[in-house]
């Protein structure tokens, strides 16, 4: 093997020299050089940003287990320690039953990364890196180690801030996410598997990637593995544009897709954490869902956009503002709600007590409502995403039998009117309607009684699809009934 490497090196080097000579004769060498110069060189970036990236290790206090199924031998524990992997609680080495057990001891919980926000020792990382830790230690690139204090963490955005007692530290430069472009080169520095100061690079694969989390994330193909969490995503100007947070994986390891928290969102969170130790968010008190293409076309919206209001909390800011179940919220203070996940993020960014204009689409018309933003409880469930999906299906012919609501039913349901479905068959059943549903509007026209329902139905071309707004339990939703042709 010692003799094969030089041969391989010479074999590949000679054609390259010939190629350079040929293209230079052809007069296109400047193009080749320009392309070569266009490739990124990360060496200066590593020297510039590297001193600001830290390693974070956490410890937790666990009771010493004596024997049992969860015990690990010392060799297995050493494997976890060497690679910085979290040790499962209660998985300590099996001890001799004759020896007295220690009440508790510090065990390695895991490792992660972070970066210095300010010269006086504030460090940003992921909330999941420090979550559940009893002690946090920050190691600088110069090998100095400090015990850190958790200033605050926010699970919804996965952002945390810790503080070490040090001064004169090299802080990172914060970049502008709005200037980040898909295809742009980016670099990550972190501690994958506990290997400190590891540099990886790739490109921005997508922006505003909706993964179901509170924030739209930056997608990259930068190699990110356990231990990289909390480390910075850096552009070619040496600016931090994101916090490496998640990967898409079926195996637990990197598979070519990684996600980072946009730094502008993270800085807003960190500012609140540093000021108060917690994050305060606005809320309006609605349960929302996506608007399907079928529903958008049927109600005259044109394209699927906004957030469908499926329920309005009693006494909530939204109810006081006049928001109704079945409304589609299109804008907040003039900013478009392009997809359902935009609304919770935009509302959450407003301060409680602020007044905002909500533009809703209701029965074919747009309407502006003024809402006073409430405060989102820190442990409250997310404002978007009910468990059920809207039931919208292709159908054949109408098949509905409806009755008026009794006064008692109106009181119980907190409705002014509507008609109750006694039976749903054929197209109505296949569209998702069923007995017990309450129809609130037909073809964008509000119906408060069977008489009104029949009057609206009489004016419709029953050979064409018709949209129905109905309520089931606490949820309002749309269905499109498609008659048989």
Annotated binding-site ranges for substrate: 128, 158, 227-229
State yes or no: is 213 an active-site residue: no
Nearest to 469 by CA among 337, 298, 329, 286: 298
Active-site residue, selected from the candidate residues 128, 131, 316, 404:
128
Nearest to 466 by CA among 220, 299, 282: 299
Strands (DSSP E) contained in 38-179 are: 53-62, 105-116, 122-125, 135-139, 145-154, 159-163, 173-174
User: Which helix (H) or strand (E) covers residue 296, if one does?
Assistant: helix 293-298
State yes or no: is 229 an active-site residue: yes
The CA-atom distances, in angstroms, between 460 and each of 185, 288, 300, 395, 404 are 57, 29, 15, 17, 21
- Name the region of 68 (left: φ>0; alpha: ψ -120 to 50; beta: rest): left
Binding positions are 128, 158, 227-229
State yes or no: is 158 an active-site residue: yes
**Which residues have C-beta within 8 Å of that of residue 180, sequence separation ≥ 6?**
204, 207, 218, 235, 241
3 state DSSP class of 36: helix
Active-site residue, selected from the candidate residues 113, 191, 205, 229:
229
The angle formed by the CA atoms of residues 200, 201 and 202, to the nearest 5 degrees, is: 145
**Is there a contact between 71 and 92 (Cβ–Cβ < 8 Å)?**
yes
Query: Which residue bears the tokens 């993964």?
Result: 211
DSSP 8-state code for residue 2? T
Active-site residue, selected from the candidate residues 154, 158, 289, 294:
158
3 state DSSP class of 91: coil
Tell me the catalytic residues: 128, 158, 229
């Amino acid at each position: 093997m010692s003799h094969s490497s030089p041969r391989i090196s010479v074999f590949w080097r000679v054609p390259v020299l010939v190629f350079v000579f040929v293209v230079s004769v052809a007069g296109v060498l400047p193009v080749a050089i320009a392309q070569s110069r266009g490739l990124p060189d990360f060496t200066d970036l590593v020297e510039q940003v590297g001193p600001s990236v830290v390693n974070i290790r956490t410890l937790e206090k666990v009771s010493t287990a004596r024997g049992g199924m969860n015990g690990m031998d010392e060799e297995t524990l050493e494997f976890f320690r060497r690679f910085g992997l979290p040790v499962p609680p209660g998985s300590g080495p099996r001890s001799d039953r004759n020896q007295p057990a220690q009440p508790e001891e510090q065990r390695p919980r895991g490792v992660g990364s972070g970066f210095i926000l300010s010269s006086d020792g504030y460090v940003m990382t992921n909330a999941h890196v420090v979550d559940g830790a009893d002690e946090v230690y920050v190691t600088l690139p110069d090998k100095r180690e400090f015990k850190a204090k958790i200033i605050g963490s926010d699970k919804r955005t996965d952002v945390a801030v810790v503080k070490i007692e040090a001064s004169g530290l090299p802080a990172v430069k914060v970049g502008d996410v709005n200037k980040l472009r898909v295809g742009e080169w980016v670099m990550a520095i972190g501690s994958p598997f506990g290997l400190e100061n590891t540099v990886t690079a790739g490109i921005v694969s997508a922006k505003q990637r909706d993964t179901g989390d509170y924030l739209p994330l930056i997608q990259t193909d930068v190699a990110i593995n356990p231990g990289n969490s909390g480390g910075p995503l850096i552009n070619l100007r040496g600016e931090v544009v994101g916090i490496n947070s998640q990967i898409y994986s079926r195996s637990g390891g990197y598979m070519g897709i990684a996600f980072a928290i946009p730094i502008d969102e993270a800085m807003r969170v960190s500012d609140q954490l540093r000021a108060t130790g917690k994050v305060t968010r606005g809320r309006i008190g609605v349960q929302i869902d996506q608007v399907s293409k079928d529903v958008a076309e049927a109600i005259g919206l044109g394209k699927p956009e906004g957030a469908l209001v499926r329920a309005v909390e009693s006494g909530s800011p939204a109810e006081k503002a006049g928001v109704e179940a079945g409304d589609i919220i299109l804008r907040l203070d003039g900013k478009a709600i392009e997809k359902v996940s935009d609304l919770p993020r935009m509302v959450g960014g407003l301060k409680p007590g602020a007044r905002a204009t909500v533009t809703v689409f209701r029965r074919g018309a747009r309407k502006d409502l003024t809402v006073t933003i409430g405060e989102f409880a820190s442990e409250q469930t997310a404002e978007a995403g009910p468990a059920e999906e809207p039931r919208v299906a292709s159908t054949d012919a109408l098949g509905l039998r409806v009755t008026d609501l009794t006064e008692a039913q109106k009181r119980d349901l907190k409705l002014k009117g509507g008609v109750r479905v006694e039976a749903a068959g054929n197209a109505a059943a296949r569209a998702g309607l069923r007995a017990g549903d309450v129809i609130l509007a037909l073809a964008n026209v509000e119906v408060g009684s069977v008489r009104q329902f029949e009057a609206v139905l009489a004016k419709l071309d029953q050979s064409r699809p018709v949209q129905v707004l109905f309520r089931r339990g606490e949820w309002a939703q749309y269905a499109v009934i498609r008659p048989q042709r």
